[in-house]
């Protein structure tokens, strides 16, 4: 599992590098279609979609001869900033509606459609040293709890859940990203952390997930949309990719990574 992930990361970095380099050119997309045989579809996706979208991209390439899907993963807000600066994206998949709305407001994307949801889960080290069973257990003073900072989406979701449950959580650290929270739990530095279901799934045996009913109060919805820029052919291809994500096959792939249907 871990080896697999590392390969994905490498692929993601390579894709990003290519994207950045391509961004230096004058034409936005499909500029390497010059050889006439391959068409490139560039997909910008939230970092949490990495595993699932790599699978989806493979499926898409299998189904479309001569199409090369380039994936670029980063934080949703970073990707929005890149698209606003004219980065060559054909499809944008966001981890939240707020970031997608920014591009909608700028008229840079087509009609967004929700394609997945994600909810929070408690991540604990495999041996669960603090014996965490419920959300309320996190409020115990001797539990070293790590959350996302309220400034970032997962932290906002955590705050929502906290409010809904009427709890006052005292984290020992408010991390920058889900990855950082997960890292602290995996290392055993923290007894528990609030992360997304998909993150627990991706971490495999390194952490254990504890579901809790209050997670319903903060459901994160993932919208996807074709980026308005680009020729007809590109727009067509982009729409086809969006359709794949929304199809039964696509939904099944996403479910395999822990996402729920919208």
Partner 1 sequence: MRVSTGSTTGRTGSTTGGAAAVGLPRWAFAPAAVGGLFVLLPLVAMATRVDWSSYWSLVTSESARAALLLSLQTSAASTVVCLVLGVPMALVLARCRFPGIDLLRSLVMVPLVLPPVVGGIALLYTFGRRGLLGETLEVAGLQIAFSTTAVVLAQTFVALPFLVMSLEGALRTAGARYEVVAASLGARPTTVLRRVTLPLVWPGLLSGAVLSFARALGEFGATITFAGSLQGVTRTLPLEIYLQRETDPDAAVALSLLLVVVAVLVIAATRQGRPGRSVL
Please select the residue that binds partner 1; options are 126, 188, 204, 213, rule is CB under 8 A: 188
Phi, then psi, of 249 in degrees rounded to 5: -60, -45
Is residue 206 involved in binding partner 1 (CB under 8 A)? no
Is residue 193 involved in binding partner 1 (CB under 8 A)? no
Is residue 103 involved in binding partner 1 (CB under 8 A)? no
C-beta of 116 vs 185, nearer to partner 1: 185
Could you tell me which residues are annotated as the binding site for molybdate?
48, 76, 178, 196
Is residue 160 involved in binding partner 1 (CB under 8 A)? no
Is residue 10 involved in binding partner 1 (CB under 8 A)? no
Length of the chain: 262
Is residue 127 involved in binding partner 1 (CB under 8 A)? no
Is residue 189 involved in binding partner 1 (CB under 8 A)? yes
Is residue 173 involved in binding partner 1 (CB under 8 A)? yes
Please select the residue that binds partner 1; options are 176, 217, 221, 247, rule is CB under 8 A: 176
Is residue 59 involved in binding partner 1 (CB under 8 A)? no
- Pairing of β 220-226 and β 91-93: antiparallel
CB contact at 8 A, 72 and 43: yes
Edge-to-edge strand ranges of the sheet holding 67-74: 67-74, 39-46, 91-93, 220-226, 113-118
Distance of CA 75 to the CA centre of its chain: 8
User: Which residues touch 118 (CB under 8 Å, ≥6 apart)?
Assistant: 48, 95, 196, 197, 198, 219, 220, 222, 258, 259, 260
- In the Cβ-directed half-sphere of 30, how many Cα atoms lie within 13 Å? 17
Is residue 47 involved in binding partner 1 (CB under 8 A)? no
Please select the residue that binds partner 1; options are 54, 96, 162, 180, rule is CB under 8 A: 180
How many whole angstroms separate alpha carbon 215 and alpha carbon 211?
Answer: 8
Task: Return the residue matching tokens 């970095």.
Answer: 13
Is residue 240 involved in binding partner 1 (CB under 8 A)? no
Instruction: Give the interface segment with partner 1, choosing from 39-47, 61-69, 182-190, 243-251 (CB under 8 A).
Output: 182-190
Which positions touch partner 1 (CB under 8 A)?
A: 75, 77, 144, 146, 149, 151-152, 171-176, 180, 183-184, 187-189
């Amino acid at each position: 599992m871990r080896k697999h992930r590392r390969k994905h990361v490498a692929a993601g970095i390579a894709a990003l590098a290519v994207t950045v380099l391509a961004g230096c050119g004058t034409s936005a997309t499909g500029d390497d279609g010059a050889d006439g045989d391959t068409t490139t579809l560039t997909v910008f996706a939230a970092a949490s979609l990495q595993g699932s979208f790599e699978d989806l991209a493979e499926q898409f390439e299998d189904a479309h001869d001569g199409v090369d899907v380039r994936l670029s993963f980063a934080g949703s807000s970073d990707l929005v900033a890149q698209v606003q600066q004219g980065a060559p994206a054909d499809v944008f998949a966001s981890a939240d509606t707020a970031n997608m709305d920014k591009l909608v407001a700028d008229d840079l994307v087509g009609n967004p459609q929700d394609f997945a949801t994600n909810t929070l889960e408690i991540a604990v080290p495999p041996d669960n040293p603090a014996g965490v069973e419920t959300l309320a257990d996190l409020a115990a003073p001797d539990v070293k709890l790590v959350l996302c900072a309220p400034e970032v989406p997962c932290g906002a979701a955590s705050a929502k859940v906290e409010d809904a449950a009427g709890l006052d959580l005292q984290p020992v650290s408010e991390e920058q990203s889900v990855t950082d929270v997960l890292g602290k739990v995996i290392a055993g530095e923290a007894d528990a952390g609030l992360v997304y279901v998909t993150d627990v799934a991706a971490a495999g045996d390194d952490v254990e997930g504890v579901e809790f009913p209050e997670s319903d109060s903060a459901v994160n919805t993932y919208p996807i949309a074709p980026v308005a820029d680009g020729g007809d052919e590109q727009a067509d291809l982009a729409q086809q990719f969006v359709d794949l994500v929304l199809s039964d096959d696509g939904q099944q792939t996403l479910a395999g990574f822990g996402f729920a249907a919208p």
